[in-house]
Chain A
Amino acid sequence: AQSVAQPEDQVNVAEGNPLTVKCTYSVSGNPYLFWYVQYPNRGLQFLLKYITGDNLVKGSYGFEAEFNKSQTSFHLKKPSALVSDSALYFCAVRDPAAYSGAGSYQLTFGKGTKLSVIP
């Protein structure tokens, strides 16, 4: 079964400093990995994904994430945090080995990390 761990409930960072939100995963095969962000009273917004290819993927709003197969990690990073980045961040995984012919793309989410960027 696939699973995702986000070890930090909350991350605090000063505006302008680099930020990292951690994610580790467990799947039986090669994972498809995603980051979503949730602002208060809003739905989940897609930030970026790793499917294959370069381990460093770039996404929306200046975010990037690095896929590390040996450490089974997919940490979200940004070189310079903005106050407007304050939100709840979710890592998610899909295990293509679990794919069934009928066409399911079930995502398994981590519990989320609250990012607070302090002015």
Chain B
Amino acid sequence: EPEVTQTPSHQVTQMGQEVILRCVPISNHLYFYWYRQILGQKVEFLVSFYNNEISEKSEIFDDQFSVERPDGSNFTLKIRSTKLEDSAMYFCASSEALRGYEQFFGPGTRLTVL
């Protein structure tokens, strides 16, 4: 069964450093998302991406964040200058355009900012 994959599984970085989180969505999906889950809190929407552009973003997704689909398979989330409060589990998800509405989630990348 096809699944969303994410790399790395765990990223440790120093405050102020740039990080790039990588995702490979399910191959025939056209909508892509990033969510995050701070430890002990609810899963929060960050951004959705369709047709090579951001279609919606939350208040969390400020100028420090960017997303890109650099090729036909990868979908990346970049945080330019990490803060301590960016420490969280980041989930990538994808969904088909026409059939169904469920989003399929990857296993997540745990980001730790020191």
Contact = CB atoms under 8 A, between A and B. Distances in A.
Given A104-B48, A108-B45, A109-B43, A44 B105 contact: yes
B91 interface: yes
B55 interface: yes
A104 B55 contact: yes
Interface stretch (B12-20, B69-77, B80-88, B96-104): B96-104
Interface of B: 4, 6, 31, 33, 35, 41-45, 48, 50-51, 53, 55-56, 58, 91, 93, 95, 97, 100-108
Q: Which are the 7 A-B pairs with shortest beta-carbon distances?
A: A104-B56, A102-B55, A44-B105, A43-B107, A109-B43, A111-B42, A43-B105
Interface residues of A, number: 26
B5 to A, nearest CB: 10
A112 B48 contact: no
Interface string A16-46: 0000000000000000101010000111111
A11 interface: no
Given A44-B91, A102-B55, A102-B56, A107 B42 contact: no
Contacts, number: 71
A94 B55 CA distance: 15
Contact of A49 (B6, B31, B102, B106): B102
A92 to B, nearest CB: 8
Given A102-B56, A103-B55, A107-B45, A45 B102 contact: no
B101 A49 contact: yes
A44 B42 CA distance: 12
26 contacts: A43-B105, A43-B107, A44-B91, A44-B93, A46-B105, A49-B102, A51-B101, A90-B42, A90-B43, A100-B55, A100-B56, A102-B51, A102-B53, A103-B50, A103-B97, A104-B48, A104-B56, A106-B33, A106-B56, A106-B58, A107-B45, A108-B45, A109-B44, A110-B42, A112-B42, A112-B43
A64 B42 CA distance: 23
